[in-house]
Chains A and B, each alone.
Chain A
Amino acid sequence: MPGADKETELKGRIEDFLADLKRGGSGTGALRGSGEMARETTYLLRRITAQARWSSAGDLMEIIRHEGRRITAAQPSETTVGNMVRRVLKIIREEYASTASGTSAKQNMVDHVIDGLVEDLSVQIKSNQILFVTYTWLGHEMATGLSKVIIGTQTVLANGGLRAVNGTHSVALAARHHSTPLIVCAPMFKLSPQFPNEEDTFHKFVSPHEVLPFTAGEILSKVNVHCPVFDYVPPELISNIGGNAPSYIYRLMSELYHPEDHKL
């Protein structure tokens, strides 16, 4: 039956996506970088909206929430995926509030808006080029007078703090010490309604063989080496997140996501 085929095809795609997520995270594998991940998630959600069976906005939200939970469980440190799911849920709520007509009209509307979201994403990814900063020379440079420090981040948290690549906290502290403004550039899909209290999902650790290779010998049995990928940068050290103060983040958050969707 054609209906059953579509369902199995959809399930297959979701499973593939989950496998990609588990394998790579960002940086390696098919899903390289948060932008790519955000785009893939949106495509998947659009597919689910088009092909899954639902008869009311509530049904659709439940389906998306269910899939969203599975996807975020696959790679908890990748908040982009969860953010996209929450954004879509907010879009559905908005559409439901503004339309009064039947299901087919709704379906078209939601598809239309998700298309718009994908467009939105491609524009943002092009316009927010992340500038490369060399960490080793930074302290020296700042002492002799840099005008500003611009960094990217993996996630912007709900309190205005960041979850950024290891070393960013040191950069932020150096900038604060030399009174250099610290500016963060991040696309909207990196804004996450999380707070920095969730210990188990905050950090991701990788193999320390780049710091202490296996050829180091005897010493390996005597030391414990931890290699976290991310750093927490508190909001007090940040001057600006793309035109907004860190204390304004809550406002952007309320425009993008609905409070009930904070916990999927």
Chain B
Amino acid sequence: REEKRLVEYFRTQVRQDPEVPSAVAAIRTLLEFLKRDQSETILGLRENLTQTIRRLEEADSSVAVSSGGELFLRFISLTSLEHPDLSQCKKVMVERGELFLKKISLSRSKVAKLCHTFIKDGAKILTHSSSRVVLKVLESAAADKKRFTVYVTESQPDSAGRQMADKLRKLNIPVTVVLDAAVGYIMEKVDLVIVGAEGVVESGGIINKIGTYQLAVCSKAHNKPFYVVAESFKFVRLYPLNQQDVPERFKYKADTLKAVEDLAEEHPMIDYTPPSLITLIFTDLGVLTPSAVSDELIKLYL
């Protein structure tokens, strides 16, 4: 049906350009839906949009799709009160949607520009799994003629760390892949830890690939700075108090959620890192301490 076509559109977007964040692909899909939509009332339009977001979440269970979708909805809904005429309203919504898309496409470069100055010459950096934002940061630092070495955790079960290492080698950055279990061993050698985030929660903590929490605890014990780099559309309205509080729909891959009956047998793909272990969060809204995140979140969602 219509929804299946949109999910296909989303999947093609992700396939065609693997560099683009999944949230951006989701928002492009929503914009496409908005252009094609035939509903007669604004309420109907909103309901259809919310339905589509839910379909996309089922296709890709990452936190960013959920937060990106919600932000898009809020960003364009601000117009619905100003224009009583539906077609006029839809036109303005599409314009605002395009504006929103343009703004967030630039966010990764903004983050990289802010963060690379924190990487000193001769630094040894530890990172976890594969993050495109971290890659961009390291790329900018290398372009700035800084010399540094990188350690990447292998990050099982999908060995995403190895892909990260390959990408770094292409940039001529010296890189070593370490076992997930070797994080404690390697921590005394590194100068700083930089990780990406799948979602940034209201408390200032982050949701990221499993193993990030371990990394954070270890770096705190060794007194090493733990930096997080994330675009602002990853800010999500959750307040987990511990690992169990993170909703199930984010913990596992979308296919696992649909296929498996008893989730207790499955390994979660993400974990939650509390704000007390994080030194600074680099976003396109600026360099934030974890306590500043909730203020920025409120500004975004209001």
Contacts and interface: CB of A to CB of B under 8 A. Distances in A.
18 contacts: A158-B287, A159-B280, A159-B289, A160-B289, A197-B117, A197-B118, A197-B120, A198-B117, A247-B290, A247-B291, A249-B289, A250-B288, A250-B289, A250-B292, A251-B292, A254-B295, A259-B285, A259-B286
A199 B118 CA distance: 10
Contacts of A199: 120
B291 A250 contact: yes
A90 B233 CA distance: 27
A195 interface: yes
A195 B280 contact: yes
A208 B86 CA distance: 76
A121 B219 CA distance: 41
A248 interface: yes
Nearest to A251: B295
Given A160-B289, A248-B291, A254-B295, 17 more contacts: A158-B287, A159-B279, A159-B280, A159-B289, A195-B118, A195-B280, A197-B118, A197-B120, A199-B120, A247-B289, A247-B291, A249-B289, A250-B288, A250-B289, A250-B291, A251-B292, A259-B286
Contacts, number: 30
Interface residues of A, number: 15
B19 to A, nearest CB: 27
A204 B117 CA distance: 20
Interface of A: 158-160, 195, 197-199, 247-251, 254, 259, 262
A199 B119 CA distance: 11
Contacts of B120: 197, 199
Contacts of A259: 285-286
A250 to B, nearest CB: 4
Interface residues of B, number: 14
Nearest to B285: A259
Contacts of B292: 250-251
A249 B291 CA distance: 10
A13 to B, nearest CB: 33
Interface string B59-80: 0000000000000000000000
**Which of A159, A199, A248 neighbours the largest number of chain B CB atoms within 10 Å of its CB?**
A159
B291 A195 contact: no
A132 to B, nearest CB: 31
A15 B123 CA distance: 39
Contacts of B279: 159
Interface in B92-108: none
Contacts of B289: 158-160, 247, 249-250
A198 B287 CA distance: 14
B220 to A, nearest CB: 11
Interface string B264-285: 0000000000000001100001
A254 B286 CA distance: 11
B145 to A, nearest CB: 15
Contacts of A160: 289
A183 to B, nearest CB: 19
Contacts of A159: 279-280, 289
Nearest to B286: A259
A247 B117 CA distance: 22
B226 to A, nearest CB: 13
A159 to B, nearest CB: 6
A195 B115 CA distance: 11
Nearest to A253: B292
Nearest to A160: B289
A212 B287 CA distance: 41
A159 B280 CA distance: 8
Nearest to A247: B291
Nearest to A245: B291
Contacts of A251: 292, 295
A200 to B, nearest CB: 10
A87 to B, nearest CB: 18
Nearest to B276: A236
Nearest to B225: A197
Nearest to A235: B289
Contacts of A254: 295
A236 to B, nearest CB: 10
B287 A195 contact: yes
A197 B121 CA distance: 12
A158 B280 CA distance: 11
